[in-house]
Structures are given as structure tokens and as C-alpha cells.
Structure 1
Amino acid sequence: MSRLPLVSTETADAEQADLLTEVQRQLGRVPNLYAAMANSPATLRGYLTLRDALTHGKLSARVREQLALLVASENGCDYCVAAHTMRAGRMGFTDEAITATRAANAEDPHADAVLHFAKDVLRSRGRVDDDLIASARQRGVSDAELSEIVGHVSLNILSNYFNHVARPELDFPPAAITEGAALATKWRSASRVALVDGYALRNNTGQPVGTVENVQVLIEGGFLHIKVSETAEVQIVSAPAVALVTYRAES
């Protein structure tokens, strides 16, 4: 359950409603991230304004999506990795390209240079040295693009960190776990897992159901592993079959 309330059209005041209407217009729906961020109209408006400004910059939509995916992966934001994995797939990125992006690699030389510089910005917290800037320029990254990379890193850090604080319910198909290279993959407690219509899991009595509650889950390699009890066989479903995973707050 989200640690901040999700603002809906029924609970929104006039300013919140205007912002959520704009999100609906841009995205076709209101993801839980934005519904939680709407608790502060100033925060949501600032986020949307910066995002809109950056969409009119030099970097292409594909590279912007790669930057969002890289930053989310580096920051261990499961919510944003899930959202941008889905969006990258819809833009035609293969599973291999998505995996490479999360490691700051790309087949396209320009995108590869952008991702490498963004990773350096993230890991140094902006304290990149002269050689890194010179290398990016030599690889064809313009000064305008260097500036925009910092903007996109900042934009996505905002959404990543907000998700860490608010923990909104995941309303995108889950992607591979993003705990980070330094942390071991682990099972997590979920109060609810719901599948897309047409898919089923077996509950703890062996009956096929579309939703299970109070289970253990593990996301790995684009698949969701589910244990409905400690003695039950692990069930595995592909990410597109998952409609919703509600994690329990960890103590």
C-alpha cells in the first residue's frame, strides 16, 4: 500500500484536478506515481514543467527513454524501471537492448556516449572531471546535450526518490529487480498479486485464480516468481501477464 495517499478525481481539489487532467491528456491515464505526487501540486507541477521542457531539447525520444531507464536502474527504483521497460518495449527496443541500456551500453555510438556520460554524472554526483567531458565531446555529444543529460538525470532522480519515499503500488508490468549490484536478490512480501484477464495462478488450495494474497515474490529476468506458501511450488509468470503487485512495507 502506498505510504502517501493516491489523489483521485474524487479527492482532488481544483489545482490537483487540473494537474491530473494534464497527466491524463499526456499519458492516457494517471499512473500511481503522479497520483501520489499530486499531494503537493507544487512538486507535480515542477516535475511536469521540467519534463515538458526537456522533451523540446536536442536529445531524441529514444535516448530520453534510455536515460530514464538507466537512471532508474542505477537508483534501484523498481517502479520506474517497470514503467520505462514497458515504454522502451513499445518504442521497439528489444529485451537485449533494454538490458544493455540498464548497464549504460547501446549499439548506437551516440546513445552509448550519452549513457556513459550520464552514468558518470550519477556515480560522481555531478563531479565529473575534464577528461570525461572531453571524451563525451570527442564522441559527438554536444554542449547542449551535455546540459540536457544533467537535466534528465535530475528529472529522473526526482521521480525515483519520490517513489522510494511514497512507495506507490506498482501499476506497470514488473521488470527485473533493481536492488543494485551491491545487494543480493531477495524475495519480497506482497499483499496482493493480480494477473491480466486470461491468466491464472494456483492458490494455496491448488485452485486457479486471477489474484493471490499474502505471498512471496521475486522478479528476475523479466519474470515474476511467486510462492503462495513456504511449501508450495514456485510459480513463474511473464511480466506482461502481471497487472498489479502490491508490496508490503518493509520494516
Structure 2
Amino acid sequence: MTRINLVDPTHATGRTAEQLGEIKSAFGVVPNMFKAVANSPAALSSMWGAFGALGGGRLPPKLGEQIAVAIADRNDCHYCLAAHTALGRKAGATAQEMAEAQAGRSADPRTAAALAFATAVVDKRAGIEAADVEALRQAGFDDGEIVEIVAHVALNLFTNYVNVALDVPLDFQKVKLTRAAA
């Protein structure tokens, strides 16, 4: 059971109502995570704005979703794992690609490098080495893409923490975690 109220979009007003309407247009429904975050108009604006900005970034949507499931698995976030697995499939990833990404792996060298970097940022609490960044460059990522990977990590940490800390009820098909949170 959630630890805070979920905002009913039909009772929201002002900018929160507008953003929940945008979210409903994007997903067909307002997922519970957004209903929880809508308790703070500032937090909702931050989260929704970050999703929009990164969605229009240079990293392909599929890679963004693969990063998201790898981070969700490390943070024991059932909600984000379920949501981003579904979104990854919509972005063109196979079930196998999403399962591999969840474990931080990929058969594609570029994706593998991005996942290794993203999981290192989480596992090392951002205390990565110069070699971690160099591995991304060797895989063909430029500085802008490297910063976007870090931004994806940060956004996913935010959403993971919201969902785990506030025990947001799952409204996507459950996906089994592959590893316990560190």
C-alpha cells in the first residue's frame, strides 16, 4: 500500500492538471508513479520535464529504456523495472534485449558500453574512473551523449527512489528482479 496519497487526476488543478493531462495523452492513462509525484507540483514538473527533455535527446529511446531497467534492477525498484520493460518493448527492444539490459549486458558493443558505464555510476555512487569514460568514447559516444547517459541515470535514480520509498503500487505487468539491491 502506498505511503502517500495518489492524486486523482480528475481533482487536480492548474499546471498539475495540465501535466497529468499530457501524461495521460502520452501513456493512455496516468501511471501511479505520476499520481504519487503530483503531490508536489514542483517535483511533477521536474520529472515530466526531464522525461521530455531526455526523450528529445540524442540517445535512442531503446537505449534509454535499457539503461532504466539496469538501474531499476540495481535499486530493487519493481515499479520502474516493470514500466521501463514495457516501454523498452514499445521502443523496439526484444524481450531478450530487455532481460539482458536488466542484468547490465548487451550483445551490441555500444549498448554494452553504455550499460556498463550507467551501472558503474550507480554501483560506485558516481565515483567512476577516467577509464570508465574512455570506454564510452571507444564505443563511439561523444561528450554530449556521455552527459545524457548520466542524466538518464539521475532521472532513473529519482524515479526509483520515489517508487521504492513511497511504495507506489505497480500498475504495469510485474517483471522479476535479477539481483538484490546493493
Q: Same fold (TM over 0.5)?
A: yes
Give the CA deviation at 1:179. 6.0
Aligned partners of 1:93, 1:54: CA distance in 2, in Å?
18
> Which consecutive unaligned segments of at least 5 residues does structure 1 have?
183-251
Aligned match of 1:5: 5
Answer 1 or 2: which has greater helix percent: 2
Aligned partners of 2:16, 2:88: CA distance in 1, in Å?
29
Aligned partners of 1:35, 1:181: CA distance in 2, in Å?
25
5 Å-filtered alignment, 1:201-220, equals none
Give the CA deviation at 1:178. 5.6
5 Å-filtered alignment, 1:105-120, equals 105-120=105-120
> Which consecutive unaligned segments of at least 5 residues does structure 2 have?
none
Aligned partners of 1:157, 1:88: CA distance in 2, in Å?
18
Moved over 6 A (4+): none
1:151 aligns with 2:147: no
Superposed CA deviations along residues 83-134 of structure 1, whole A, max 9, x for unmatched, are 1112223334333222210111112211111111111111111111111111
Q: Give the TM-score normalised by structure 1.
A: 0.68
Answer 1 or 2: which has greater strand percent: 1
Tell me, yes or no, if the aligned pair for 2:9 and 2:35 is still in contact at 8 Å: no
Aligned partners of 1:80, 1:159: CA distance in 2, in Å?
7
Aligned match of 2:98: 98
Aligned partners of 2:135, 2:178: CA distance in 1, in Å?
29
Task: Provide the aligned C-alpha RMSD in A.
Answer: 1.6
Provide the secondary structure at the position in 2 that maps to 1:176: coil
Moved more, 123-132 or 170-179: 170-179
Give the CA deviation at 1:167. 1.2
Q: Which amino acid aligns with 2:78?
A: D
Tell me, yes or no, if the aligned pair for 2:73 and 2:181 is still in contact at 8 Å: no
Give the CA deviation at 1:38. 0.2
Aligned match of 1:23: 23
Q: Which amino acid aligns with 1:143?
A: D
Give the CA deviation at 1:28. 1.8
Give the CA deviation at 1:20. 0.7
Tell me, yes or no, if the aligned pair for 1:76 and 1:178 is still in contact at 8 Å: no
Aligned partners of 1:178, 1:16: CA distance in 2, in Å?
35
Aligned partners of 1:45, 1:35: CA distance in 2, in Å?
12
Percent identity among equivalent residues?
37
Q: Give the TM-score normalised by structure 2.
A: 0.93
